């Protein structure tokens, strides 16, 4: 009888200890109860365009991390019509790893199908991609979205290749994740088209 009572006391004590530890972990944001940081518009890369819209999409798309860091790089901005280069990138980091990249660069492919295969096909299987309405060609999955944006209208038909690559999935899945990445791609494409001084219509809606 004494042995049984002792076991019950020990079991109750262990359960109480677990509750205390779990409560402390939650209170101090320790694993597995870290709170997901909220991305604010002011923290978002300028190259993502509409920062408020981008922040809303990122808060859905990004995996839960206690903090996020943004690295915005403008490697080359097109200065005039004779300039045939443009390149920018935005990297989103969290939890010691790169979570997402958004790149835009001047490109020229034989056709939009080749662009999909050689650019987006390196990131995801082309069988997972669905087309959406933007640029001369736009495709997306739940981990990538890309737009082939008209830029130079005279001479060589150069485009802007805008690619969003979600490297670590977040809470949003399937169609929701795809919509968020499309929003980011459209916003980044609109920014790139303006900054690259493109004269051809972008064909990118607000989205």
Distance CA 181, CA 92 (A): 13
Is residue 17 scored above 70 in pLDDT? no
The whole-number average pLDDT for the span 38-58 is: 97
The residues near 10 (Cβ < 8 Å, ≥ 6 apart) are none
What pLDDT, in 10s, does the model give residues 54-101?
A: 999 999 999 999 999 999 999 988 877 777 889 999 999 999 999 999
Q: What is the pLDDT of residues 147-168, one digit of tens each?
A: 999 998 775 678 999 999 999 9
Question: Does the pLDDT at position 28 exceed 70?
Answer: no
Q: Where are the domains of the chain?
A: 1-33, 41-195
Looking at residue 35, its pLDDT comes to 83
The structure's pTM equals 0.81
Cβ atoms 144, 181 nearer than 8 A:
yes
Q: What's the DSSP call for residue 48? A: G
- 163-193 pLDDT, tens per residue? 999 999 887 778 899 999 999 999 999 999 9
More confident residue, 77 or 139: 139
Lowest mean pLDDT among 9-13, 23-27, 202-206: 23-27
Sorting pLDDT into bands at 50, 70 and 90, what band is 134?
Answer: very high
Beta strands in 21-86 (DSSP E): 69-76
Output the pLDDT for position 163. Answer: 98
What 15-18 contacts at long range (C-beta under 8 Å, 24+ apart), as own/partner pairs, is none
Rounded to an integer, what distance in angstroms lies between the CA atom of residue 21 and that of residue 35? Answer: 17
Average pLDDT, the chain: 85
Number of other residues whose CB lies within 10 A of the CB of residue 167: 15
Q: Flag whether pLDDT at 11 surpasses 50.
A: no
């Amino acid at each position: 009888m004494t042995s049984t009572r002792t076991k019950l006391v020990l079991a109750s004590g262990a359960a109480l200890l677990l509750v205390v530890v779990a409560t402390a972990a939650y209170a101090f944001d320790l694993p597995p109860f870290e709170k997901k940081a909220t991305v604010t518009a002011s923290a978002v890369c300028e190259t993502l365009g509409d920062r408020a819209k981008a922040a809303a999409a990122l808060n859905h798309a990004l995996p839960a991390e206690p903090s996020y860091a943004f690295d915005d790089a403008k490697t080359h901005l097109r200065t005039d019509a004779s300039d045939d280069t443009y390149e920018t990138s935005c990297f989103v980091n969290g939890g010691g790893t790169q979570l997402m990249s958004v790149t835009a660069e001047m490109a020229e492919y034989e056709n939009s199908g080749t662009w999909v295969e050689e650019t987006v096909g390196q990131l995801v299987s082309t069988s997972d991609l669905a087309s959406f309405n933007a640029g001369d060609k736009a495709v997306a999955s739940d981990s990538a979205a890309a737009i082939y944006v008209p830029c130079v209208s005279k001479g060589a038909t150069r485009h802007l290749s805008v690619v969003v690559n979600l490297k670590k999935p977040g809470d949003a899945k399937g169609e929701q994740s795809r919509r968020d990445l499309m929003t980011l791609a459209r916003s980044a494409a609109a920014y790139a088209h303006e900054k690259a001084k493109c004269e051809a219509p972008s064909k990118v809606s607000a989205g």
